[in-house]
Amino acid sequence: MDLPWALLLVLLCYHGQLLPWLRTVGEPSLDEFYSEAQAKMFLQFYEQTAQVVLNELMEATWNYVTNITRRNQENMMQKEAEWSQFMLYFGTRARMFRINHFLDPDVKRMLSKLRNIDKSALPTKDLLEYNKLLTYMEAAYNGAEVCLNEGPCLPLEPDLEEIMATSRDQKELLWAWQGWRDAVGRQLRPVFGDYVHLSNKVAQYNGYEDMGALWRSKYESDTLEDDLEQLYTELQPLYLNLHAYVRRSLYRFYGPELIDLRGPIPAHLLGNMWAQSWGNILDLVLPYPDKPPEDVTKIMKIQHWKPEKMFEEANLFFTSMGMLPAPPTFWIKSMMQKPVDGREVECHTSSWNFYKFNDFRVKKCTEVTVEDLLSVFHQMGHIQYFSQYQNLSVIYQEGASPAFEEAVGSIITLSASSHKHLLARGLLSQQHLDSEEEMNFLLGIALEKIAFIPFSYMVDLFRWKVFDGTIQKSVYNQEWWNLRDRVSLRSPGYPGTHSVDQADLELNSQVLGSKVLKYQGLCPPVPRSEDDFDPGAKFHIPASLPYVRYFLSLVLQFQLHEVLCRASGHVGPLHRCDIYNSKVAGRILEDLLKLGSSRPWQQVLKEMTGEPNISTKALLTYFKPLLNWLVTENVKQGDILGWPDFSCSFEEKVTSKVSFLGTEAEPDQAYLGQWVLLSMSFVMFFLILALVFRLHYLEKQSLKKDTVVVKTMPSTYFLGIAMEPHQAVRKQWLLLGLCFILMLCCIGLLIWILTQSTGKAPWTKDEWQS
């Protein structure tokens, strides 16, 4: 038995006698040792040891991410290896029980959960390599910085994120956008193929076809992919309307040089490094700019908020609903801001369960802003979940599904960001919002939530296709962008929705295999190549964390919000609801959280909402007033939905240059040049015709002369040289042939130029210059 010392210790301390199945590995014929009664003892044994080993792993990992040193890294990797051995030991044995004959559904469920041991299933050598690879990728992301010319180097948090959020200078935005991708993506590109290979190996050792399938298995649903597609389709009109509206607003600000009203939006102009949420550009896109919302961040700063106060504020929300307060350890051990003692830390926000009574922590480099305040609310949702299910078996200490884990805190942020709540908490002073101000408010929420819809969906769509081999290594980056800028092809049948014709459909099918996808409508602001690896610039890709949970959580949080609002007695539009202080809502939520993952999420959802499926209904209700407004506005502006102009030749648009005879020229010049070229072709054509007649005449003459005078002095000139007439004639025919070829080239070139630059005939000038 090759077990870590910690496990051995627990084994020795364990008061029971050595259980039969400890001695019977590899002897599955001994059926009685794999009985249901034995299974219960096995699970009990697992429970007691797992808590110890898991706690050590969490401590070691925490030490590393809050103090990145070589020693801490080695220590963490050591603990990971121990955890893997532990899981391998229990996982292999869990697979030997024939659970089909068991009666206790809990025993069956726990054993089947234990069978999936993730990377622990890998052979030692592969596991070592896989762990090294994962650590390398995450370290590359966390250590990346973008350096100014002869200046300091900026990390992602907070500097680059702040530039992306606040700068309105497209050159500066481009610098940060491109710099971050150069710094991270290019480091990950060479190793990502190996990561995919090893991940798939992990999946196969666990009985799945590829890593995407293993990830999807967490949702216990055979129809997950179709369900996601369906949800996306239902939400698409909302996204397309927001996209068109924001594009028009950015067009007003940045002008036609940067924004094509029929095309995708350049990805660096949306206030966020990944363009995943657009709340930071609210000032550029406000429906009623003369009624701007109050600046909560500014108010927080005037009131001298500190990161700790932000956590207290979120904690207060939960306790007001009669739910659990964060335990004392939380306040002592969490990392609530970026340390100033020179430690290198991983800033990416996360919440941690240490599998020890009341030991939960958050790691966040908190800044005093309203965005971070809401993010703190989200994290405190995770802490609440941990606290509520900590009395369950370790096996059940996770959300009903990954989407539920993400939804809890977000439900609270929906209330916490309402005008009513912020006003009550002294973070706003204006008593009432009129209908125009309300539209400003709703648009602000939509920039966070609706803009996130396609992004949260496509990150895993991309990875699933990478894992199953549909997207090959040689086209990773190209396909990433294809996912982002392909227009949706399934018309949702909404008023004003752009539908795409058959040609587009075929084009997309070619690019993306048989399945047609729906995406963000964004394009890279500078040309990309396969040396780049833009997906790697998002944390969850190097950290190997599944992402579709955020998409599902987005829909789910509105569904649960609606139920809790109704329970709390709220009347009126959903976006005005605040469940603060509602003990009834608190109890309903607690009942959900307490279950952990002990029951399939469909059951849990049905009990709470009456529906077994995740539904977009509540989300659509919440945004109904905004959607109506957006549709009217887009129709008024004559905006089209979607982005039929697929290409995003940003560089060319910036310089306003077009290609002409291989050189860059102003569109006007190129246009004139094309006409000159055409006229020249005509002149040449007539010249050649004239030459043909002249030659024909000469030839006739020389034939006559040849028969009459056999030997006379040369009397014909060719290019000023006197020669025999028949020689001159031959040379002239040669010249004619040459001219003819030249003319054909000329016409061919002209056609090529016209189709290259516009795809339209030159006389449609207006279209060409728009």
State the residues that interact with Zn ion by CB under 5 A.
406
* Residue 24 buriedness (CB in 10 A; 0-12 / 13-18 / 19+): middle
Token output for 629: 């407004």
Give the DSSP H/E element, type plus range, for residue 10.
Answer: helix 5-13
Give whichever of 80 and 406 is closer to Zn ion, judged by the CB atom.
406
Peptide bond before residue 158 is cis, with ω within 30 degrees of 0:
yes
**Which of 413/702 has CB closer to Zn ion?**
413
Question: Which of 757, 482, 445 is CA-nearest to residue 622?
Answer: 445
With contact defined as beta carbons under 8 Å apart, do 168 and 270 qualify? no
Do 179 and 537 form a contact (C-beta atoms < 8 A)? Answer: no
Cβ closest to Zn ion, residue 406 vs residue 534: 406
| Cβ atoms 413, 563 nearer than 8 A | no
Alpha carbon separation from 318 to 7, 291, 306, 408, 412 (Å, rounded):
37, 32, 19, 11, 8
Identify residue 64 by its one-letter amino acid code: Y
The minimum distance between CB 446 and Zn ion, in angstroms, equals 20
- Closest approach of Zn ion to the CB of residue 611, in Å: 24
State in angstroms the smallest separation of the CB of 751 from Zn ion: 56
d(C-alpha 50, C-alpha 171), whole Å: 52
Nearest CB to Zn ion, comparing residues 229 and 405: 405
Could you tell me if residue 699 is left (phi over 0), alpha (psi between -120 and 50 degrees) or otherwise beta?
alpha
Question: Closest separation between CB of residue 378 and Zn ion, Å?
Answer: 6
Q: Residues for the chain: how many in total?
A: 770
- Closest separation between CB of residue 213 and Zn ion, Å? 24
Q: Closer CB to Zn ion, residue 59 or residue 406? A: 406
Q: Which is nearer to Zn ion, 247 or 364 (CB)?
A: 364
Nearer to Zn ion, 406 or 438 (CB): 406
Rounded to a whole number of angstroms, the minimum distance from the CB of residue 352 to Zn ion is 11
172 Cβ neighbours under 8 A, 6+ residues apart: 163
Least Å distance, CB 400 to Zn ion, is: 15
Q: What are phi and psi of 50, to 5 degrees?
A: -60, -40
Q: Which is nearer to Zn ion, 406 or 562 (CB)?
A: 406
Cβ nearer to Zn ion, comparing 85 with 559: 559
**Cβ closer to Zn ion: 229 or 406?**
406
Cβ atoms of residues 635 and 645 within 8 Å? no
Residues 6+ apart with CB under 8 A from 578: 415, 416, 418, 420, 421, 424, 570
Nearer to Zn ion, 348 or 486 (CB): 348
Cβ 56 to Zn ion, closest distance in Å? 24
CA distances (Å), origin 434, targets 26, 284, 297, 440, 698: 73, 20, 22, 10, 92
In 311-449 the beta strands, taken as DSSP E runs, fall at: 350-353, 360-363
Closest distance of CB 384 from Zn ion, Å: 12
Report the largest interatomic distance among the alpha carbons of the chain, rounded to a whole angstrom: 132
- How far apart, in whole angstroms, are the C-alpha atoms of residue 437 and residue 24? 71
Nearest to 560 by CA among 415, 379, 456: 415
Write the Ramachandran bin of 147: left for phi over 0, alpha for psi from -120 to 50, otherwise beta.
beta
Closer residue to Zn ion (CB): 260 or 448: 448
Shortest separation between residue 382's beta carbon and Zn ion, angstroms? 6
Please state the closest distance from residue 527 (CB atom) to Zn ion, in A: 34
Q: How far is the CB of 406 from Zn ion (least distance, A)?
A: 5
The β-bridge relationship of strands 721-723 and 350-353 is unpaired
Give the Å distances, CA to CA, from 446 to 151, 242, 349, 374. 37, 8, 22, 15
E strand or H helix that includes residue 266: strand 265-266
R_g (Cα) of the chain, nearest Å: 34
Whole-angstrom distance, CA of residue 574 vs CA of residue 577: 5
Q: Which residue is nearest to Zn ion (CB)?
A: 406
**Which is nearer to Zn ion, 419 or 449 (by Cβ)?**
449
Give the nearest distance from C-beta 481 to Zn ion in angstroms: 27
- Looking at beta carbons only, is 138 or 406 nearer to Zn ion? 406
Smallest gap from residue 381 Cβ to Zn ion (A): 7
